[in-house]
Amino acid sequence: MTDDLPISPALLPAGLRDLLPPDAEAEALGVEALMGVFSAHGYERVKPPLLEFEDSLLAGSGVAIAEQTFRLMDPDTHRMMGLRPDMTPQVARIAATRLVNAPRPLRLSYAGACVQVRGGQISSDRQVSQAGIELIGPDLPEADAEVVAVAAEALGALGLERVSFDLTMPPLVPALIEEAGLAEPDRAPLLRALDRKDAASVTRHGGRLASTLNDLLLSAGPAARALEVLRAASLSPTARALSDRLEATVAAITARAPSLKLTVDPIEFRGWRYHTGVCVTVYAAGRHEELGRGGRYLGADEEPACGITLRTEALLRAAPVRTPRPRLFIGRAPETAARPFRDAGYATVAALGAFEDEMAEARRLGCTHWLRGGDAVRLDTDPA
């Protein structure tokens, strides 16, 4: 019976929503602030399409986003296309094709909407906005540090000063397990135990690695302490090289942004499927929601790259609320009278149609001020 009921035109699919005033403008201004910082550091903006053929969208590092990709058939070519759930693989494709001959290091920035098959654990949104940067070419700690420092400055432009950058080295644990020759039946339960931070299970399944892994497990926290434990740990040559690179990156970040809060979790690897080096997750003080994440990876043709993607909606939830632009009701005043107020930051709202009470009309249209005698008068203070 319910199938015959009319569906409201305001009903949207789960995880999709309309962004209304003033939130839509706040998001646009926030993205503009982020992109301004990126541009000031030499990151040039690119704009990939919403849809691509899936064999290019999901190639290389794009394999990691396959499960979150909506697919549909192109009615023109009859080839399958994918609706992007993440912009990073697209930027990597642009760097390897359209900009393959551009000088390196190549600095690119981007911002736009993405659509995912499923929402996250904290937010059910399936349409998400992203803004980020990719630094393509050099495989150096200084490159990793630049990405982190520029992201921190961009967050500061939104008023987010109390943030932490949590660093990890996803290849470290697999390297330790591989070089230790751990028995195959123990590998999967050990990785699950590390993922759950379960020291007892790590001891049970870790074999001769158990002591080292538990030390690293307990070291997660402020960067200085975690690196001290790493330096003292008994690591294989490959793992030692990865540890040294993590330490060099922390040193490079600290040299560039000494006041930035850095933490290190040496064994975190969850969610870093295609990353090959130092990775980072960004949090705001007092909040558990990720503001963004990124790290080092190999682009097309195995070209080194690193970057970070910021989640616009999460940033705006964490950032101080911006004061909306004041709205000035100008009635039927001429354009010459209205323009100076727009130049001063007001949104001017002209009168259309008939009305009796100018102040009441201003309030009805959601204005904060009205034009009286050539001045902008606040509606909540005017005694008239």
Quick one: pLDDT band at residue 232, thresholds 50, 70, 90? very high
99 exposure class (CB count in 10 Å sphere: 0-12, 13-18, 19+)? middle
Query: For 98-117, what is each residue's pLDDT tens digit?
Result: 999 999 999 999 999 999 99
User: Average pLDDT of 232-244?
Assistant: 93
Categorise residue 268: left if φ over 0, alpha if ψ from -120 to 50, beta otherwise.
beta
Contact at 8 Å (CB) between 143 and 271?
no
361: Cβ–Cβ under 8 A, 6 or more apart, which residues?
329, 331, 351, 355
Pull the structure tokens for residue 358.
Answer: 């100018």
b/e map 61-87, b = 16+ CB within 10 Å: bbebbeebbeeeeeeeeeeebbbbbbb
Angle at 308 between CA 316 and CA 231, to 5 degrees: 120
- Report pLDDT for 59: 82
Can you tell me whether residue 20 is helix, strand or coil?
coil
User: Average pLDDT of 256-279?
Assistant: 90
User: Average pLDDT of 328-350?
Assistant: 96
pLDDT over threshold 60, residue 150: yes
pLDDT over threshold 70, residue 26: yes
pLDDT over threshold 70, residue 121: no
* Alpha-carbon span 255 to 148, nearest angstrom: 12
Q: What would the CATH number be for the domain defined by 13-160+291-309?
A: 3.30.930.10
pLDDT over threshold 50, residue 301: yes
- Report pLDDT for 383: 55
Helices (H), 81-140: 88-96
Quick one: pLDDT band at residue 81, thresholds 50, 70, 90? very high
Query: What is the 8-class DSSP label of residue 167?
Result: E
Contact at 8 Å (CB) between 113 and 131?
no
Contact at 8 Å (CB) between 317 and 125?
no
Distance set, CA 271 to CA 65, 82, 170, 195, 374 (Å): 11, 21, 9, 10, 59
Helices (H), the chain: 23-40, 54-57, 88-96, 141-157, 172-180, 184-195, 199-205, 210-219, 223-232, 237-256, 312-318, 335-343, 358-364
Q: Where are the domains of the chain?
A: 13-160+291-309, 171-270, 327-378
User: Average pLDDT of 275-294?
Assistant: 93
Backbone angles phi, psi at 22, to 5 degrees: -90, 5
- Report pLDDT for 1: 46
pLDDT over threshold 80, residue 2: no
Can you tell me whether residue 71 is helix, strand or coil?
strand
Can you tell me whether residue 3 is helix, strand or coil?
helix
Cα distance between the two ends of the chain: 56
Pull the structure tokens for residue 277.
Answer: 């080096």
User: Average pLDDT of 235-264?
Assistant: 96
User: Average pLDDT of 328-345?
Assistant: 95
For the chain, what percent of residues have pLDDT higher than 90? 73
User: Which of 124-133, 269-278, 313-322, 334-343 has the least mean pLDDT?
Assistant: 269-278
Prediction pTM value: 0.91
Quick one: pLDDT band at residue 131, thresholds 50, 70, 90? very high
- Report pLDDT for 382: 55
Pull the structure tokens for residue 324.
Answer: 């909306």
Residue that wins the pLDDT comparison between 351 and 68: 351
**In the block, residue with structure tokens 């004061």:** 323
357: Cβ–Cβ under 8 A, 6 or more apart, which residues?
none
Report the candidate in 217, 214, 280, 284 with the shortest Cα–Cα distance to residue 252.
Answer: 280
Backbone angles phi, psi at 48, to 5 degrees: -70, 160
Query: What is the 8-class DSSP label of residue 66?
Result: G
**In the block, residue with structure tokens 């994918």:** 82
